[in-house]
Amino acid sequence: MKATVKGRYEVNKSATAVATLTTNAGDVRLKASLTDATFVRGPSLNGLAISLEKPGAFILDYHLPTKDVRFQFMNSVRLMEKTVNLTYTHARGDNRTALDGSVAFDPSNKVSVNYAFGTPGACKVKYVYAHGELRQTVLEPCYDVFNNTWDFVLTRNLDGGDSLKATYHTTTKNLGLEWSRDSKVNGWFKISATVNLAEQQKAPKLIAESTWNYEV
């Protein structure tokens, strides 16, 4: 059994934590997730969710407090000598259904499309370009057809498990910068700052996150 603990701290807000227990049963995984809301006022179902997953095939999520169910099915097809990965998602609580498709033309170029059913034109197209022989610099422009807007992500992966990322969302005018490190000894952590360029007082929103994995 594997245990994962995630902590999150946002300036001027209270800290939050999520614990996940994962066990394998043959070729499927059973997960149980608990948040601090499960215990803050005594044991309760708040923040409790269970998940059944078969990697590469399906994921079934059930959120106990709201009795919300989320289905996700994955498959792949061959088209013009390329593998197209497909993911079908349906969230009953949000009454949202989406289809994602992606295809890698080579190790450096990939295109993905997301379509949300129920809203005409609700389609997003993302292009991923990994630069260089080691592909440590990754550019991801994304076009939202419905809103006629662009989002941009630029990532630089460094030696030793460090990563720098910059994001910009044209709809919200939010510019984000983050630094993360993945260490086998100290776990994974991320420090991020987001600023809204449309605001007169451009005070950054600071967030620190960390993750620890344990074998039980």
pLDDT tens for residues 92-125? 887 899 999 999 999 999 999 999 998 888 999 9
pLDDT at 65: 82
**CA atoms within 13 Å, Cβ hemisphere of 31:** 21
For residue 18, give the nearest of 41, 45, 38 by alpha carbon: 38
- The Cα 211–Cα 190 span in angstroms is 9
For residue 190, give the nearest of 37, 10, 4 by alpha carbon: 10
Q: What is the pLDDT of residues 55-100, one digit of tens each?
A: 999 999 999 888 889 999 999 999 989 999 999 999 988 789 999 9
pTM of the model as a whole: 0.86
pLDDT at 42: 63
Per-residue pLDDT band for 215 (boundaries 50, 70, 90) equals: confident
Per-residue pLDDT band for 41 (boundaries 50, 70, 90) equals: low
Rounded (5°) CA angle 196-200-205: 35
